[in-house]
Amino acid sequence: MKISILKNNVFKELIYTVVSIIAMLIIWKIVSVVVNKEVLIPSPEVTLREIIRIVESPAFFGSVLNTSKRAIIGFLIALGTGMLFGMLGGLFKAIYYLLRPFVLIIKAVPTMAMILLTLIWLESEKAPILVGFVVIFPIIYENVVQGIRNVDSKLVEMMKVYNINKLDTIKELYIPSIVSYLNGAMSAAAALNLKIVIAAEVLSQPKLSMGTSFQMEKANLNTAGVFAWSLIAIFMAGVFEQMLRITKIARNGKTLHHEQ
Amino acid sequence: MRLEGIYKSFGEEEVLHDINISINDKEITCILGPSGCGKSTLLNIIAGIIKPDKGTIKESKKKVGYVFQEDRLLPWKTVFENIKLVNKKASDKSIRDLIRIVGLEDSQKKYPAQLSGGMRQRCSIARAYNFQSEILLMDEPFKSLDYDLRISMVKCLIDIWCKLNNSIVFVTHEIDEAVLLGNKIIVLSGNPCRVDTVVNVSMPQQERRIDDKKMVDLRCRLLKILSRQ
Ligand SMILES: Nc1ncnc2c1ncn2[C@@H]1O[C@H](COP(=O)(O)OP(=O)(O)OP(=O)(O)O)[C@@H](O)[C@H]1O
Ligand SMILES: [Mg+2]
């Protein structure tokens, strides 16, 4: 019975998604007809043709791969360090206050300034990773700190009474609590990270990347190409989010009931 | 273990007032008292979770098992894993035995959210048994269980107690449970909490029957004390 409910929900989700996409395409078409200038708003058909051209071009696979690699590496580093420092900051007030100025500064520096600075410091291939990291680290860090603070104090008491050591308490209580707390923040951070990496690539111009491709289409005044790459980037963000969801479902096999 | 002159207030409200209790080794001490009089607070002090404002605990025990008033299970762990958590060295077989004793053999792979309140409570009891502590604190452990289950859980508790040979502090609202279990029954009065009466029961637990003349008398006596409050 559970499975049929699940299937039904997936089906409904799919229907609504398809309807909204169709509505969006119709609006897009109308706007492009009204504006009637391909350089400003290319029509959906022309954009689709551009997507096909780009996907078939020899540089496509390499660009997507390089950009994905940067996004994933940056994300994993931010996730690892964010979890580590977030847990330290959540558990120990002193560490939280010591880290606070750093986090505040990282958060306050304008993304564009960060991109320019990292370009000065690092080679163009690596700079985008650092920019992505800098933007999403505070998000993950702060969510982990909040997650730790929201851990049920009664469960902490229970672990203490039963003489469960610090390491096991972190493994069995803190990490599972923050993981269920982090889910939302994680997919938002993954999508944001991809956007930031691409933006940094537009400026840093590594040899083969999505950002470089964006810049090339723009230089050629090929607006349809920019639109096409945007759609590809949206699709990739969707894939990343789905990947996080799959890991979540896999874990939910174990924790399903907890999150209901 | 002895509690001497224990005082505890939360803000303005005095909860415990000059509590003097001795908890004898290898005995079951039952605590009866009106709701909100401070029984859980007293157990928390014995467990070392909260500190008394005044007073001392002599000969306190290091290894304390605690069946909390709420189940306090980890939501992402199954019944089996929750019980195993507190004593990783316990064999799987001994854990399965405990699960059978509390009547959860069909649910050992389930998560707390898939269990009823009474089932969760029984899981938390099995967890405390698995810890094999020198002293076991139980805060209304059999609430939300039906009458038959209650009686069978009382019997199991007596068996486990004989096997572990530890001391137990058992908080309850049910006079029957106190009568069947206690070597000593402490009646508390409320607002603030003081020790009202201490009753010692010499008959061994294994021989006690709820319809036994002595037990019926004891029951009446406790009822009288409680209704006087
Ligand atoms: N953490 C706390 N902060 C403030 N007041 C508290 C706290 N814990 C308990 N109290 C107060 O102390 C009193 C005793 O609470 P306690 O939980 O010990 O009662 P109890 O005897 O266990 O009641 P019950 O039988 O309903 O479980 C209550 O009046 C409660 O309001
Ligand atoms: Mg209580």
Residue B209, Cβ density class (10 Å: 0-12 exposed, 13-18 middle, ≥19 buried): exposed
Evaluate if residue A257 carries a pLDDT over 50: no
A3 and A127 share one domain: no
Overall residue count recorded for chain B in this entry:
229
Q: Is residue A50 part of a domain?
A: no
Task: Tell me, using a 6 A CB cutoff, whether residue B35 lines ligand 1.
Answer: yes
Average pLDDT over residues A99-106: 94
Q: Assign A259 a pLDDT band (cuts: 50, 70, 90).
A: very low
Sequence-distant (6+) residues with CB within 8 A of B137 are: B43, B46, B47, B64, B65, B66, B67, B168, B169, B171
- Over 80: is that where the pLDDT of A247 sits? no
- Distances in Å between the Cα of B74 and the Cα atoms of A18, A173, B86 are 40, 7, 12
State whether the beta carbon of B37 lies less than 6 angstroms from ligand 1. yes
Residues of A with CB under 8 A from a CB of B: 154-155, 157-158, 160-164, 172-173, 176, 180, 254-258, 260
The minimal CB distance from B113 to the residues A158, A162, A260 is found for A260
**Among candidates A158, A163, A180 on the partner chain, residue whose Cβ is nearest the Cβ of B72:** A158
State which of B17, B41, B68, B137 you would mutate to test the pocket of ligand 1, scoring each by most atoms of that ligand within 8 A of its C-beta: B41
Confidence of residue A4 (pLDDT cuts 50, 70, 90): low
Answer yes or no: is the C-beta of B39 below 6 A from any ligand 1 atom.
yes
Q: Are residues A159 and A207 in the same domain?
A: yes
pLDDT tier at A33 (50, 70, 90 boundaries)?
very high
Q: How many domains does chain A have?
A: 2
Tell if the CB–CB gap between A164 and B85 is shorter than 8 Å.
Answer: yes
Which mutation among B9, B39, B44, B45 tests ligand 1's pocket best, with the greatest number of atoms within 8 A of CB?
B39
Q: Which residue has the higher pLDDT, A248 or A254?
A: A248
Structure token digits, residue A161: 């009474």
Tally A–B CB contacts below 8 A.
47
Q: Show me where the domains of chain B are located.
A: 1-62+138-154+168-229
* Same domain? A220 vs A183: yes
A23 part of a folded domain: yes
Ligand 1: which residue has its CA nearest to atom 6? B10
Asked if residue A69 is part of any domain, the answer here is yes
Distance from CA of B217 to the nearest CA of A (A): 38
pTM, to two decimals: 0.81
Residues of the domain holding A146: 63-259
Average pLDDT over chain A, rounded to whole? 89
Q: What are phi and psi of B133, to 5 degrees?
A: -90, 165
- The answer for residues whose C-beta is within 8 angstroms of residue B44's C-beta and 6 or more apart is B50
**Residue A185 and residue A140 share a domain:** yes
Indicate yes or no: CB of A173 within 8 angstroms of CB of B86: no
CA A247 to chain centre: 14
Q: Does the pLDDT at position B144 exceed 90?
A: no
Residue A40 included in any domain: no
For chain A, give the percent of residues with pLDDT over 70.
93
DSSP structural state of residue B188: E
* Record: contact A258-B75, CB cut-off 8 A: yes
Ligand 1, atom 17, residue with closest C-alpha: B40
Tokens of A260: 């209901």
**A80, part of any domain:** yes
Position A73 in a domain: yes
Judge whether residue A53 has pLDDT over 60: yes
Both A118 and A164 in one domain: the answer is yes
pLDDT, position A253: 52
Same domain membership, residue A113 and residue A205: yes
Q: Indicate if A29 and A67 belong to the same structural domain.
A: no
Distance B35 CA to ligand 2 centre (A): 7
Query: Are A2 and A108 found together in one domain?
Result: no
Q: Which atom of ligand 1 is nearest to the CA of B173?
A: 25
Mean pLDDT of the region A243-258:
62
A247 and A162 in a single domain? The answer is yes
Q: For the domain that residue A244 is a member of, what is the CATH number?
A: 1.10.3720.10
* Confidence tier at A256 by pLDDT (50, 70, 90): very low
Q: By alpha-carbon position, which residue is closest to atom 31 of ligand 1?
A: B36
Q: Separation of B122 CA from ligand 2 center, angstroms?
A: 17
| B66 chain-A contacts, CB cut-off 8 A | 158, 161-162
Q: How many CB atoms lie within 10 A of CB A183?
A: 18
Number of the ligand 1 atom closest to the C-alpha atom of B37: 21
Q: Does B76 touch chain A (CB under 8 A)?
A: yes
Sorted by sequence, the CB contacts under 8 Å of residue B212 that are 6+ apart come out as none
Judge if A180 and A113 occupy the same domain.
Answer: yes
Shared domain for A129 and A30, answered yes or no, is no
Query: Rounded CA gap, B88 and A131, in Å?
Result: 44
Interface contact flag, B111 A173, Cβ < 8 Å: no
Q: In sequence order, what DSSP letters do the residues of A138-178 get, joined into one string?
A: HHHHHHHHHHHHTS-HHHHHHHHHTT--HHHHIIIIIHHHH
Yes or no: domain B1-62+138-154+168-229 corresponds to CATH 3.40.50.300: yes
Weakest-pLDDT range from A4-8, B105-109, B137-141, B224-228: A4-8
User: Mean pLDDT for chain B?
Assistant: 92
**Chain B residues with beta carbon closer than 8 angstroms to that of A258:** 75-76, 111, 113
Of the two residues B61 and A96, the one the predictor is more confident about is A96
* C-beta of B36 in contact with ligand 1 (< 6 A): yes
Q: What is the mean pLDDT of residues A197-218?
A: 93
Q: What is the least distance, in Å, from the CA of A258 to any CA of chain B?
A: 6
Residue A179 pLDDT level (bands cut at 50, 70, 90): confident
Cβ-contact A145, A96 below 8 angstroms: yes
Q: Average pLDDT in the A65-86 region?
A: 94
Within this chain, do residues A80 and A11 fall inside the same structural domain, yes or no?
no
Q: Does position A184 have pLDDT exceeding 70, yes or no?
A: yes
